[in-house]
Amino acid sequence: MYTCLIVDDEELARELIETHLKQLDGFELVASCNSAIEASKILQQQSIDLLFLDIEMPVLKGTDFFKNLIVKPHVIFTTAYRDYALDGFELNAVDYLLKPITFSRFFMATEKFISLQNTRSTSTEVEKNHPQKG
């Protein structure tokens, strides 16, 4: 089960992502926050595998928030603006979803995340079974 956190200042956007998540097996929504400050408190208390993060938010932009996290979960940026795509790429985001987010595009992003997780666990198993000589 992958733990998820939604961070978006728009309630309708949070509800849409939550609705999409409920259609998928293997994802557990831990919390839905309307600000990066609120999300910070959740991240201090709980381990999160996947963060759905809006960029344009009051007080603290999503990209700035993510840059300053010490422990970074995987992130999928959710925004109405194409202008931040390069920032998302530079922050090694799993994906970059433009609002309004269709289920098919959302599904594609979560599949990319699962693929990354499977790749990571496969490489960890290989390292355990075949330690590098050095």
Tens of pLDDT, residues 64-81: 999 999 999 999 999 998
CATH classification (class only), 2-129: alpha beta
Helix ranges (H only) for the chain are 11-22, 36-45, 62-67, 85-90, 103-129
Residue 122 is predicted with a pLDDT of: 58
- DSSP secondary structure, 71-95, as one string: SPPEEEEEES-GGGHHHHHHTT-SE
Q: If you search the block for the tokens 């809006």, which residue do you land on? A: 54
Contacts within 8 Å (CB) and 24+ apart, 121-127 = none
Could you tell me which residues are beta bridge partners of residue 51? 5, 75
Segment 117-128, tens digit of pLDDT: 988 665 544 455
Which residue numbers in the chain have pLDDT < 50? 124-126, 130, 133-134
Amino acid at 102: T
> Could you tell me the residue ranges of all domains in the chain?
2-129
> What is the reported pLDDT for 24?
97
Give pLDDT, residue 84. Answer: 74
- Is the link from the previous residue into 100 a cis peptide, with omega within 30 of 0? yes
In angstroms, rounded to a whole number, what is the distance separating the alpha carbons of residues 53 and 10?
A: 11
Q: Which long-range contacts (CB under 8 A, 24 or more apart) does 22-27 make?
A: 23/103, 24/107, 24/110, 26/1, 26/2, 26/114, 27/1, 27/2, 27/110
